[in-house]
Amino acid sequence: MKIVCIGGGPAGLYFALLMKKRGAHHDITVVERNKPYDTFGWGVVFSDQTMEHMRHWDAETAQEVQQAFNHWDDIELHFKGRVIRSGGHGFVGIGRKKMLNILQARCEVLGVKLLFEQDATSDLDFPDADLVIASDGINSNVRNRCPEIFKPDIVTRPNRFIWLGTHKQYDAFTFLFEKTEHGWFQAHVYKFDGLTSTFIVECPEEVWLAHGLDRADQAESIAFCEKVFAANLKGERLMTNARHLRGSAWLNFQRIKCEKWSHFNGKSHVVLMGDAVHTAHFAIGSGTKLALEDAIELVRQFQETGDEVAHIPQVLEQYQALRAIDVIRLQNAAWNAMEWFEVCGKRYCDQLAPEQFMYSMLTRSQRISHENLRLRDKQWLEGYERWFAGQAQAVPPMFTPYSLRGITLKNRVVVSPMAQYKCTDGRVGDYHLMHLGARAMGGASLVFAEMTCVSPEARITPGCPGLWNDQQTSDWARIVGWVHQETDAKIALQIGHAGPKGSTCAPWQDAGADQPLPEANWPLLSASAKPYLQDGQVPRAMTREDMAQVKNDFIQATHRANQAGFDWLELHCAHGYLLSSFISPLTNQRQDDYGGSLENRLRYPLEVFAAVRAVWPDHLPMSVRISAHDWVEGGITPIDATEVARAFKAAGADMIDCSSGQVSAQQKPIYGRMYQTPFADRIRQEVGIATLAVGAISEADHVNSIIAAGRADLCAVARPHLANPAWTMTEAARIGYTALQWPSPYVSGQPQLEATFARERSLQLAGRGD
């Protein structure tokens, strides 16, 4: 084959040498617009795993890279006058120039033609090539020539960064944080050779503008950065090798991902590689890793399929299918890390103590969990656990107590309210005693009853519980009394009104969830006359008289909840139910004082909350569940959610239960583990109110990571508690925490379960060779 690689970065050079090594008969040329020693940036980092791949595919190159790189295990934080260090993280750093020179020399040995100072603007410049590798970087001319084919999704991020170097030596991957009169700056610093360290300075756009850095040239920007980080640099200078860039050399990161990676231009097959097709933020240092592994995978596909011209289409299709999975995984992790650095000045730097700030930074990508930190640096993590627990003995964060008003919870695990649809006439019975009682005995600190409706017309289905008469109050008092007598858990009630989503079938009955009852429907209320389903029952837009009546229903239900003895009350303002229908612009199209602006849309839910809070005992907590994201264009966004939370905080709410979605049937949520936790994190830090995280939290590791990082104060676990009422006790045994108190009749089962998990941990360690 005749192959041309446009762009002489890691992707193009490494593919060229691997393909030439595979077959000397291939005619391979790398075309690079810069001189051999010109490059942007200073050092690059990648993982030990990537080095293993390189050793397998070309030991000679790997050996040279290994001799030139710097390896370190520690991450060091300089923050608020403190220096905190954690080990076991395993990075490899090498000068970008040095690495390119190694790849260039290896290409020449193998017979790859290298053409420098030639600006290839298009894949059409090489009509005789069978395959064109477009490794021409983030501003790829090849990609930009055919956007309708490659369909790039390019997102420009808000932070500004400048890529500098210094001769000061650092023996850890170092993060520096300094506050100026206009906001926070951070530096990502790592050594890459015996003389030089990369020094990337980053800040939010508004801070950059406030300091006038948009008007500064490179020399002025460097001088400014030297001043900001003078205490750490101790007289050492900062340097740039980006003189070819105009202006100040401050950049905005661009996240790139393409829907299609290759095409046939009529003469040649063209495939994008490296930054041309995908980018990953420097916050996790994965750009070079992605480029090298792109090259490896494409060569692997030629090896497995055959490297004749006829096989190119199949090879390129398989290449994208396989690489896209890894790329998405790394891009998601890089996105999380990137977002953390983008908001840390606003959300974490002022709010968190250095110890918790370090933990939050280490777990920013959500790839490193609590127990993974224990494997990396047990001593550091146990020291943090002692700090978090405020005592000499290390305690996993999920098992630390939590107090709110007059209630103290024994740990941070909450059983989520989960609809059971097992009531008759709104009355709970033995089923609910069994359901809630079993979970109260299972180790969680707080058990929520499912949404309990304030009137017969407030129910979602005929099987929903209610609290509008004395019989229901007595039924609930029986369950609450049992929980208090037999367990050390607290029990909470969530009160709500189904609004436009009422009078529907249970999920397993008739037409199924959200579908109108086949008969005996009751009239529905909502902020506006908009059905949840396009062909669903149409609700009546509430009148002022309706509002007064429903508010009184909530007040009476609250009185009854107190009579029943509940420890905690939550007002349901989420998921498209009645109060939620006022908050979201998707469902509230009123023209009166209760519609329009967010302030107006919140008016009625806040009126109900104030009325309920006024009659709920002052010493007992009250939370509010909100949908922090409607997942529909034009709906509530996480930015809006902070304002919603701020309004409820001002009204006297103690905690925000941060859920999302279910407001519109057109929603398109982005699921994943702990996918709603960022909403709780944002509200907790920016609004300054306690939060409850919920959604795809399924392991002790998840809970520990969330609580330890300060992303929420409590974690609500739903589906795992359906599968295992004793989920909390099970997870305690799984992670080796033996101090959790079991119910007396169950204590004999505790040692056996703990021993079983201890054996599993030992086998896992033995399998890793630890």
Contacts of 517 (CB under 8 A, 6+ apart): 461, 462, 503, 504, 505, 510
| Phi, psi at 272, each rounded to 5° | -85, 150
The Cα–Cα gap between 562 and 554 comes to 12
Radius of gyration of the chain (CA): 30
Cβ-defined contacts of 528-535 (< 8 Å, 24+): 528/581, 528/587, 528/588, 528/589, 528/590, 528/595, 530/500, 530/587, 530/589, 531/500, 532/500, 532/501, 532/576, 532/664, 532/665, 533/665, 534/665
| Phi, psi at 451, each rounded to 5° | -50, 125
Strands 622-627 and 690-694: unpaired
Q: Could you tell me where the DSSP H helices lie in 132-261? A: 141-145, 147-150, 205-210, 218-228, 230-233
Contacts of 555 (CB under 8 A, 6+ apart): 611, 612, 615
Residue 565: is it exposed, middle or buried by C-beta count within 10 angstroms (0-12/13-18/19+)? middle
264 bridge partner residues: 269
Closest CA to 133 of 255, 326, 257, 297: 297
Q: What angle do CA 710, 651, 552 make, to 5 degrees?
A: 125
First vs last C-alpha separation in the chain? 46
Tokens of 505: 């079938």
| Phi, psi at 244, each rounded to 5° | -75, -15
Q: Which one of 577, 594, 604, 737 is the catalytic residue? A: 577
Local structure of 363: helix, strand or coil: coil
The Cα–Cα gap between 527 and 541 comes to 5
Closest CA to 719 of 744, 706, 702, 743: 702
412 bridge partner residues: none
Tokens of 48: 């030990």
Residue 86: is it exposed, middle or buried by C-beta count within 10 angstroms (0-12/13-18/19+)? buried
44 bridge partner residues: 94
Neighbours of 97 (CB within 10 A): 18
Local structure of 421: helix, strand or coil: coil
- Let me know if 577 is a catalytic residue: yes
Q: In residues, how long is the chain?
A: 770
- Is residue 407 within 8 Å of 491, Cβ to Cβ? no
Residue type at 589?
Q
Catalytic machinery residues:
577
